[in-house]
A and B are shown apart, each in its own frame.
Chain A
Amino acid sequence: MSDSIKQSVKDYIMTTFLAGESPDNLTDDLPLISRGILDSIATLKLILFLEESFGITLEAHEADKEHLDTLNQIAALVSSKLPATASR
């Protein structure tokens, strides 16, 4: 489950913010916010994408680099918010 979340977030970031980049360079633990890849508006767009495509709600305090800096963190946060029955 977490892997498919990760892949769909990765696809979104690649097409929306990293057009032309090799997908291999976007590793699961690359710090996206602290390395300047996602600015504050891009982070908001990512949050909207997560909320819409996974049907979840992020709290205000979760919308920061402690929770959203890497693909691994994003996938973990999304998984933790999905209903238990949906996970394997």
Chain B
Amino acid sequence: MSASTSAPLHRGFLDAAGRFPERTAVVDPGHGPLSYADLDALSARVRDRLAQLGVGPGDRVGLYLRKSADTVAAIYGILRAGAAYVPVDSGAPVERNAYVFHNCEVQVLIAEARVLDAVRAQFEALGRTPVLVALEDVGGAKGLTRWLEAADRGGSAPTVPDHSSEPDDVAYILYTSGSTGRPKGVTLTHENAVSFVQWCSETFEPHERDVFSSHAPFHFDLSVLDLFVSHRHGAALVLIGEEAGKEPTGLAKLIAEHRISVWYSAPSILSLLAQFGSLDKHPVPDLRHVFFAGEVFPIKHLRRLAELWPTPRYFNLYGPTETNVCTFYEVKLPIAAEQNTPFPIGKVCSHLRGKVVDEDGKEVADGQEGELCITGRGVMQRYWGLPEQTQKGFLSSRNGERWYRTGDIVFQDANGDYVYKGRRDRMVKRRAYRVELGEIEAGLYKHAQIKEAAVIAIPDEEAGVKIIAHVSSRTGAPLSLIEMKGFCAQVLPMYMIPDRFQWHAALPKTSTDKIHYQQLKEMS
């Protein structure tokens, strides 16, 4: 086991490709399947071509692609070249995505041709343009293959060996919402990812007959389990695009037709499946694991889901992007009728350690509330280019241990399971995405007519939270809701758009002339 701990992240896939060349590695619905041998060959060509473009160990390569077999092959190609992949939400505003690629200085950006002009204009404004690779007709690896073939016509790329990355080499950077209005890059190493993948292997015992869902987008840390756990064991991965992933009736059918055996997603889509998916019409005898993570699963929807899908085991996986999954809890069925509070987040995964601390960073007494802190091989290295924020993210410790402060307030119950209570800051979860309310405020201030903006989240049983924007305009008169929503759609990702706007002549202030958030909360 110790030998494989330091193996590079792509090693699991390469070993599986050696053992199961004929098995299906990726299903990109609407296109033919890709075998392990296909994916191996294709990602090797990407590796060689990237190396020829000058990409090497320690570099970053950006991915501005919708979910597809092309993206999967590109990810393995990037890792095999020794570089880190940087995926973004291809539906987010181009300005935000260009900022991400500029921030971590990608050497190459692989993008869909449709966004090329817009992203190039952004790079020119920012003052640095990476090598741009445009893919036409992404899906089923067609776009990627076409690019490789076109490049080969100008001379084939010399074969380079798979990079045997060191444990501390960066494998990927996932950008999450930042409170200052700029996304911040959570920087994860090969060891971070491999230790997590190994823990999954030991805990859930996947095998080559499994069919994994890939519901979360690749810029979301849930995708690390989908991609690298499935492919370490020779299992198939069924890609579910953003549109299909939101639509419960079609999705219920897809899960049954592709005989998915391991499902992983945020609870919100599982709630929708339970309510609107007509799951009784689409039996799933092969489904053996249902994992959910990212936010609290409302108990009434989980109960309904477990009635409709009675055979699989259900696991609540918890953890911020900085640690990936760090605690887990198996939900025992049937769920008792008197159970009306959400389930605990559970116990710490075996590759990590946890403790609960007070505001001074001292461990609390058993059962007391405090902030959950995590240390171990899965914990991120840093936020890209943000040494101060990185330092603030960890407890200072005398013995050199790096304890990541999750910001989540928890306590330990009588069974030793951690129970989630809330946040210590202004971050909320919406459809499992991290949302810093400050980033929404920064977005609203970009509107020429907005004078003041303060954003509040209030609990909501259906959606988790409702986001309320308290705003005042320069003229004092309210602006149109349609205008505001449309503006937000241009400057913020969709999941950050406020549910409601409340207009004020001026926002209430505290005695020190700061915006009075407490009073706004009461007014929401």
Contact = CB atoms under 8 A, between A and B. Distances in A.
A82 interface: no
B249 interface: yes
A64 B489 contact: no
Interface in B458-486: 462-463, 478, 480-483, 485-486
Nearest to B271: A41
Interface residues of A, number: 21
B272 interface: yes
A37 interface: yes
A38 to B, nearest CB: 9
Contacts of A21: 480-482
Nearest to A26: B482
B416 interface: no
Interface stretch (B79-87, B107-115, B240-248): B240-248
Contacts of B246: 40, 43
Contacts of A61: 250
Contacts, number: 49
A60 B481 contact: no
Given A36-B497, A40-B246, A44-B272, A30 B482 contact: yes
Given A60-B250, A63-B250, A37 B483 contact: no
Contacts of B250: 60-61, 63
A15 interface: no
B482 A35 contact: yes
Which secondary structure dominates where chain A touches chain B? Answer: loop
Which secondary structure dominates where chain B touches chain A? Answer: helix
B494 interface: yes
Given A22-B480, A35-B489, A36-B489, A64 B276 contact: no
A34 interface: yes
Given A18-B481, A34-B489, A35-B489, A63 B247 contact: yes
A44 B485 contact: no
A34 B489 CA distance: 7
A61 to B, nearest CB: 7
Nearest to B486: A35
A70 B503 CA distance: 27
Contacts of B248: 44
B462 A41 contact: yes
B480 A25 contact: yes
Contact of A37 (B253, B272, B462, B485): B485
A39 B481 contact: no
27 contacts: A18-B482, A20-B481, A21-B480, A21-B481, A25-B480, A25-B483, A30-B482, A34-B489, A35-B485, A35-B489, A36-B485, A36-B486, A36-B489, A37-B486, A39-B494, A39-B497, A41-B272, A41-B463, A44-B248, A48-B276, A60-B247, A60-B249, A60-B250, A60-B253, A61-B250, A63-B249, A64-B243
Interface of B: 243, 246-250, 253, 272, 276, 431, 462-463, 478, 480-483, 485-486, 488-489, 494, 497
Given A35-B486, A60-B249, 5 more contacts: A25-B482, A35-B482, A36-B485, A36-B494, A41-B463
